[in-house]
Amino acid sequence: MIVAFSVAPSGTPGDTPAGTGDDASVHTAVAAAVKVVRESGLPNHTSSMFTEIEGDWDEVMDVVKRATEAVAQYGSRVSLVLKADIRPGHTGELSGKVARLEGALDALAE
């Protein structure tokens, strides 16, 4: 399966006043989530809005859970957006889907 997800904190962690310290920017929290994904060893890709990860259901959802927990320390709430492409028996689709798209674009250009 491939899961595309975006996770971000809101609110303030503990008693920290809003807009102070590193919690004033989401990028530090997102970096903590992406670090979890990259350390998982699963195929992944991060773009400006989502991180995609590929693997079986249990391992992917475990990584998403741990990435969400990593972000939780940066706010009193966490927002998680998740989209999944569940296609049993297929692997390498993180790059395979893009390769097929590029092939289709090349064919249209001819």
Whether pTM > 0.95 for this model: the answer is: no
Sign of the CA dihedral running 71, 75, 81, 86: positive
What is the number of domains present in the chain? 1
Q: What CATH number does the domain containing 39 carry?
A: 3.30.70.930
79-91, pLDDT tens digit by residue?
999 999 999 999 9
Task: Kindly state the tokens that stand for 48.
Answer: 């400006």
Could you list the residue range(s) of the whole structural domain that residue 38 is in?
Answer: 2-109
9-42, pLDDT tens digit by residue?
988 776 554 444 544 578 999 999 999 999 999 9
